[in-house]
Amino acid sequence: MDTNLAHTLQRVGRAFRLPGPFFSSEEINRGNINTTYRVNYISENEEGVAYIKPYLFQKVNTYAFRHPTELMDNIDKITEYIRTRCPDRTTLHFHHVERDGRRLSYFDDPTLGFWRVVNYVPSVTYDVCDDPAVIRSAGEAFGDFQTILKDFDPSLLHETIPGFHDTRRRYEALRQAAKEDKAGRAAEVREELDYLFSIEDEACRLLDLYEEGKLPLRVTHNDTKINNVLFDEHEPRALVVIDLDTVMPGLVGNDFGDAIRFAANFTEEDSPDISHTGLDLNVFWAFTEGFLSRTADTLTPTEIDTLGLSCFALTVELAVRFLADYLAGDPYFKIKYPSHNFDRTRCQIALSRDMQNKRDAMDSIVRACAAKYRRG
């Protein structure tokens, strides 16, 4: 193991006063922004028998999250609220450090960076999955998240990334990145730029409806990839929704659309081979069924009518973000190889095209599920 890294992790562990000697660590592939490690400590049970106790350490990317203490404040409030409302649910427990007589759920160090430590939940996650039972359960989990927080006052939350799902603003950033062409890549991506600008109005329609006062603001998760749901190891049962970094006021379509964009794609979101990329309607159906079984009663008719549109909007928005990052020389998303952000862009574009072709079917499924689960 990288001794520097082991050293850093041990210092972080000491700050959080984790008991027992440090044993080992491994990086976990979770997310494109923060860096996550599973860190094992040696602990002892009541009979004095040693066992390995794992924790999750996360280094927060302060380039993406400029105000990490506000982000942790949001997370503290949300997890506390969920714990009080649903004491029997699996929840995330953040460990604390003592600083100047205060308990803080993070460790901020000028050289080591901004860290948090959370309990390790034995579980599995899915990057790609077409098992309807798993998908439906993910839909229920994100639907529950929405419903549990429906009376949470959104004004208590900081906007961790301003304009996060402001599609127009994302388009402006793309325009700017293409103009500046910092990495000298604009010529190579002309076709993708032209396509994205040709669908700008349709991609921004969800936002327009909000600005016209036709869609309400709710508390949303804003990063509803299915791998942000931890599942039971033995059965297709969602345990807990994780990655609360972007919980903010938002539109229900942000959560629904982003979840579909990720889970219902035949390929992974960064597949370099897009010949099979497209929307799997069976997965779409299973997720919609799970999501609406929990939310059909609370959503307005316009929210329901725009769920299909939200999938297109969120897919295009992410294509716009990936392409802007590629043009700027990849400062934001972690990349594994030089054209990674471009492959991600092409994959999201291919998916958005297929969604346009399948829109009628998507809307019919949404209507059928809403009618099935609406009680009022």
Contacting positions for Mg ion (CB under 5 A): 223, 243
- 167 interacts with ligand GN1 by CB under 6 A: no
Q: State the Cα–Cα distance between residues 193 and 246, nearest whole angstrom.
A: 27
Please, which residues have CB within 8 angstroms of residue 186's CB and are 6 or more apart in sequence? 178, 193, 327
CA torsion sign, 298 to 142 to 71 to 163? Answer: negative
Residue 54 bridge partners (DSSP): 40
Contact region for ligand GN1 (CB under 6 A) — 124-132, 133-141, 241-249, 297-305? 241-249
Nearer to ligand GN1, 40 or 271 (CB): 271
From residue 53 to residue 92, what is the string marking binding to ligand GN1 with x (rule CB under 6 A)? -----------x----------------------------
Using an 8 Å Cβ cutoff, are 92 and 79 in contact?
Answer: yes
- Residues 313, 291: Cα–Cα separation, whole Å: 18
User: Among all residues, whose Cβ is closest to ligand GN1?
Assistant: 31
Query: Which of Mg ion, ligand GN1, none binds 330 (CB below 5-8 Å, type-dependent)?
Result: none
Alpha helices in the chain (DSSP H): 3-15, 68-85, 132-148, 167-180, 190-198, 200-203, 205-211, 252-263, 281-295, 301-305, 307-327, 340-357, 359-373
Q: Is 253 in the site for ligand GN1 (CB under 6 A)?
A: no
Structure tokens of 82? 């969920």
- Our CB check for Mg ion shows the closer of 8 and 246 to be 246
Nearer to ligand GN1, 18 or 328 (CB): 328
- Residue 269 within binding range of ligand GN1, rule CB under 6 A: yes
Q: Is 154 helix (H, G, I), strand (E, B) or coil?
A: helix
- Closest to ligand GN1 by CB, 32 vs 352, is 32
Comparison of 167 and 224: residue with beta carbon closer to Mg ion: 224
3-class SS of residue 214: coil
Question: Tokens standing for 374?
Answer: 């609406």
Q: Within positions 23 to 52, which residues make up the interface with ligand GN1, using CB under 6 A?
A: 31-33
Amino acid at 50: A
Interface with ligand GN1 includes 223 (CB under 6 A)? yes
Q: Is 243 in the site for ligand GN1 (CB under 6 A)?
A: yes
Please, are residues 240 and 89 in contact by the beta-carbon 8 Å criterion?
yes
Q: Does 341 bind ligand GN1 (CB under 6 A)?
A: no
Residue 341 interaction partner, one of Mg ion, ligand GN1, none, beta carbon < 5-8 Å per kind = none
Closest among 245, 218, 47, 44 to 143, alpha carbons compared: 218
Q: Give the residue with the Cβ less far from ligand GN1, 68 or 278.
A: 68
| Residue count, binding to ligand GN1 (CB under 6 A) | 10
* Residue 196 contacts which entry, Mg ion, ligand GN1, none (Cβ below 5-8 A, type-dependent): none
Q: Which residues contact 83 (CB under 8 A, 6 or more apart)?
A: 89, 91
Rounded Cα–Cα distance for residues 128 and 221 (Å) = 20
Q: Which of residues 309-338 bind ligand GN1 (CB under 6 A)?
A: 318
Q: Which does 269 bind (CB under 5 to 8 A by kind): Mg ion, ligand GN1, none?
A: ligand GN1
| Residues of this chain that bind ligand GN1 (CB under 6 A) | 31-33, 64, 223, 243, 245-246, 269, 318
